[in-house]
């Protein structure tokens, strides 16, 4: 009796991983369609999440409370059926992932997870692309990313977190916080109503906000930042490995400044109380009443602090 019970326990133990794997498998829809469409309601304040390994993502503002997706497949060396979609309907919103059939991808709230090396193709990067065009309701929050493609978001959404592994990123009209990044492309943010964090591994970063603060960086590009208004006392930080930093701030700007460049000049439109020794490539001092800390650095470029409206946008 005891040996029979042990055998049954051993069999159940062996079956558990397989059962768990089946339970965790996500349904893939839209594999046969070359153009996949979807309409789903998402309330204001809810999340709309969109992810793809490759392809452009274009997000604009719709006229109602419905997310309208149109996804066009570009199979390249594969077939239309190699690509499909995982749709997650959650209590806080909607998640849509474009996936490759045969790959161990998992669609999650923060993107695609899985081991692409175990797919049926010898090189997943040569597989097809999915180009998403999406209309979203005003006031939702958006999180979106593509591994290889341009990403554009032009809508009055409450918050945006967007990224591209290899492409341009453009964000415009967001009413609140913005986080935007590209591994290898230009990042542009216009008209943001809240704090901004922007970075590019190898491209210029342009930011224009109605209200800061802003933090931005680039591995190899210029930073051109305009803040029309600043509230609070949050710190500001701007760094580039090889480019200029042009910072336009309000006329009543105050900060404790630390600026340094390996090969360039540091200049400012504002009167500044200098701390320590003055050199062309390094500046430390206080503008106005101080308070927030402003850090600026470049490995090979000039650093400028300018009054917004004094011609700063002309260099764009």
Neighbours of 25 (CB within 10 A): 10
Please count the residues of the chain.
316
Rounded CA separation 202/204 (Å): 7
Q: What is the pTM of this model?
A: 0.87
Nearest to 228 by CA among 286, 139, 313, 314: 313
Q: What average pLDDT does this structure show over 32-41? A: 97
The answer to whether the peptide bond before residue 244 is cis (omega within 30 degrees of 0) is: no
Answer yes or no: are the C-beta atoms of 96 and 112 closer than 8 Å.
Answer: no
The tokens describing 277, both together, are 């020794």
- Is the Cα torsion angle 94, 97, 98, 103 positive or negative in sign? negative
Q: What is the per-residue pLDDT for 29?
A: 95
Where is average pLDDT lowest: 50-54, 125-129, 170-174, 271-275?
125-129
Instruction: State both tokens at 301.
Output: 């470029």
Burial class (CB in 10 A: 0-12, 13-18, 19+), 295: middle
* Tokens representing residue 118 in the block: 């175990």
When comparing pLDDT for 49 and 21, which is higher? 49
Report pLDDT digits (tens) over 85-136. 999 999 999 999 999 877 768 999 999 987 554 444 445 556 789 999 999 9
Which DSSP state fits 313? Answer: G
Q: Are 207 and 225 in contact, with CB atoms under 8 Å apart?
A: yes
Other Cβ atoms within 10 Å of 231 Cβ, number: 8
The C-alpha atoms of residue 46 and residue 41 are separated, in whole angstroms, by 10
Bridge-based pairing state of the strands 93-100 and 47-52: parallel
CB atoms within 10 A of CB 102: 13
User: What pLDDT, in 10s, does the model give residues 211-254?
Assistant: 889 999 999 999 999 998 888 889 999 999 999 999 999 999 99
């Amino acid at each position: 009796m005891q040996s029979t019970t042990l055998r049954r326990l051993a069999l159940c133990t062996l079956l558990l991983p397989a059962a768990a794997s089946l339970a965790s498998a996500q349904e893939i829809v839209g594999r046969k369609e070359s153009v996949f469409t979807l309409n789903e309601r998402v309330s204001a304040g809810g999340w709309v999440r969109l992810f793809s390994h490759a392809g452009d993502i274009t997000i604009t503002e719709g006229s109602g409370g419905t997310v309208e997706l149109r996804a066009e497949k570009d199979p390249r060396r594969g077939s239309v059926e190699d690509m499909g979609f995982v749709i997650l309907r959650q209590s806080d919103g909607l998640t849509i992932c474009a996936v490759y059939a045969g790959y161990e991808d998992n669609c999650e709230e923060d993107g695609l997870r899985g081991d692409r090396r175990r797919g049926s193709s010898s090189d997943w990067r040569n597989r097809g692309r999915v180009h998403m065009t999406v209309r979203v309701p005003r006031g939702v929050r958006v999180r979106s990313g593509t591994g290889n493609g341009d990403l554009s978001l032009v809508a009055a959404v409450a918050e945006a977190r967007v990224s591209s592994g290899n492409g341009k990123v453009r964000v415009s009209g967001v009413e609140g916080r913005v986080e935007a990044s590209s591994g290898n492309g230009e990042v542009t943010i216009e008209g943001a109503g809240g704090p901004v964090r922007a970075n590019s591994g190898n491209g210029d970063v342009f930011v224009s906000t109605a209200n800061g603060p802003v933090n931005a960086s680039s591995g190899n590009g210029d930073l051109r930042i305009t803040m029309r208004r600043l509230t609070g006392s949050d710190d500001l930080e701007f760094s580039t490995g090889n480019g200029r930093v042009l910072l336009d701030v309000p006329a009543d700007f105050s900060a404790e400044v630390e600026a340094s460049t390996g090969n360039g000049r540091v200049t400012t439109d504002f009167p500044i109380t200098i701390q320590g020794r003055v050199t062309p490539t390094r500046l430390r001092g206080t503008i106005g009443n101080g308070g927030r800390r402003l850090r600026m650095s470049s490995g090979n470029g000039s650093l400028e602090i300018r009054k917004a409206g004094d011609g700063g946008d002309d260099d764009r």
